[in-house]
Amino acid sequence: MKKKYKILLLNFLIIVLAAFTAGCWDAIDINEKLIITTVAFDLEGEEMKGYLETANIQASQGANTSQTNAKKFNVISTPSKTIIESRAKLETKLDKPVFLSGVNTLVLTEDFANKYLIEYLYRFRADEFYRKKGNVVFTKQSPEELFKVAQEKDVSLGMFLSDMVDTLEKEGRIFLRSSERLIENLSSPYSGILILNAGTQDNEIAILGYSVVKDNKVAGFIPIEEANGLLLMKSKNPKLSYDVPYKDLKLTIEVTSKKPKIKPFYKDGKISFDLKFDCKAKLMYGDKKTPYDLTDKDMKKIGDFLSEMLKNELENTVAQAQNTFNCDYLQFDDIFRIKYPEDYEKLDWENEFSKISITIDVNVDMSTTYMMDYNTGEPK
């Protein structure tokens, strides 16, 4: 892991140095700047606290023995009353100008977001030096707790979260909103969105779930273990595992799904949606020795049972958005607006969302894996 971060930092320096060399001759050399890898904010009462994590390039390069033993990332913090004051006070603690294009992740506590989310994201957008493809992550904990774990592992909190998020997204285990998409959503007349929520778990940094943001305020939290329906609806390539009881067996089945087909309808002043999910399911293994003597009829029953499980999960996901939070973080408004732009402009989506009729259909294509014949227990 440490070698990985060393390589990443060195590659990053090469790219940045090339950019500076090709730029203005009077530009400040990158070695004369502090590379910021993480920015974090917390709010306690009326006082905010800002954090900057900087890369210690000399330690990463191992220039000498003393630097080799130094921390590869340093964290500074300061209390303040405003965002402008926070930036100014943080910079008085630095011995070099900052390089913000190295920021991988913005970490904001939910308390801070409830008061300053819009202001800070607009500042983020306006500052030309910020890396616009960085991730925005919320937390319920003090950033100090997350930085402490990262420091113990001698890694950058922002880089670690960025790598974790990228990996989980590629594996179809989370879905992510880019910072640009987040700003776009929060700037629209109606805003409802989910933002990844991170924290510490068993002294490890982990993605714990999603913060529900409605009207620019945190309206609730969805734990990661209760977000399967969300993944089926929003992830590009969801991959989920389910335990399915059948006869005296407990079968573990892996489910993948294509992007759902969603059709909006507007008739007589009523909004409705039809959602169709085409899922592929693989029987991975069971809790007993083979053979299981499963016939084609058995496999169809298992597929039908799984289809009903997924349908119930998706219906609960929609009901949670409509009834628990009354917040369209599922982005049905985008789909409706594209098909009915004029009608959408006349509607109060926040008032309409909870009344929308949504029909869900799930088709499951069952198969087995590892070339195992569950009828006889013999390899094919």
Give the pLDDT confidence of 227-276 residue by residue, as tens digits.
999 999 999 899 999 999 999 999 999 999 989 999 999 999 999 999 99
At 179 the pLDDT is 72
Is the confidence at residue 298, as pLDDT, over 90?
yes
161-181: pLDDT as tens digits: 999 999 999 999 998 877 777
At 96 the pLDDT is 87
Neighbours of 332 (CB within 10 A): 24
Domain ranges within the chain, ordered by starting residue: 2-226, 229-368
Amino acid letter, 254: E
At 132 the pLDDT is 67
Contact at 8 Å (CB) between 157 and 53? yes
Over residues 149-156, the mean pLDDT reads 95
Model confidence at 189, pLDDT cuts 50, 70, 90, reads confident
51-75: pLDDT as tens digits: 999 998 765 555 554 455 578 999 9
Is the confidence at residue 24, as pLDDT, over 80?
no
245-254: pLDDT as tens digits: 999 999 999 9
Amino acid letter, 7: I
At 23 the pLDDT is 44
Neighbours of 69 (CB within 10 A): 9
- Least confident segment among 53-57, 86-90, 221-225: 53-57
Beta strand residue intervals within 216-351, DSSP E: 217-223, 239-246, 249-257, 261-267, 270-286
Contact at 8 Å (CB) between 138 and 195? yes
Is the confidence at residue 16, as pLDDT, over 70?
no
- Measure the CA–CA gap between 295 and 104, rounded to whole angstroms: 51
At 281 the pLDDT is 96
DSSP 190-205: S-EEEEEEEEEETTEE
102-130: pLDDT as tens digits: 888 999 999 999 999 988 888 888 877 77
At 22 the pLDDT is 41
Could you tell me what percent of the chain has a pLDDT over 90? Answer: 64
Nearest-CA neighbor of 201 among 145, 118, 268? 145
Model confidence at 12, pLDDT cuts 50, 70, 90, reads low
Provide φ and ψ at 137, rounded to 5°. Answer: -130, 135
At 3 the pLDDT is 53
At 190 the pLDDT is 76
Handedness of CA 152, 154, 157, 161 (dihedral sign): negative
Q: Output the average pLDDT for the chain.
A: 86
At 5 the pLDDT is 53
Contact at 8 Å (CB) between 322 and 356? yes
322-379: pLDDT as tens digits: 999 999 999 999 999 999 999 999 999 999 999 999 999 999 999 886 545 555 444 4
Domain 229-368 indexed as CATH 3.30.300.210: yes
This prediction's pTM: 0.85
Model confidence at 9, pLDDT cuts 50, 70, 90, reads low
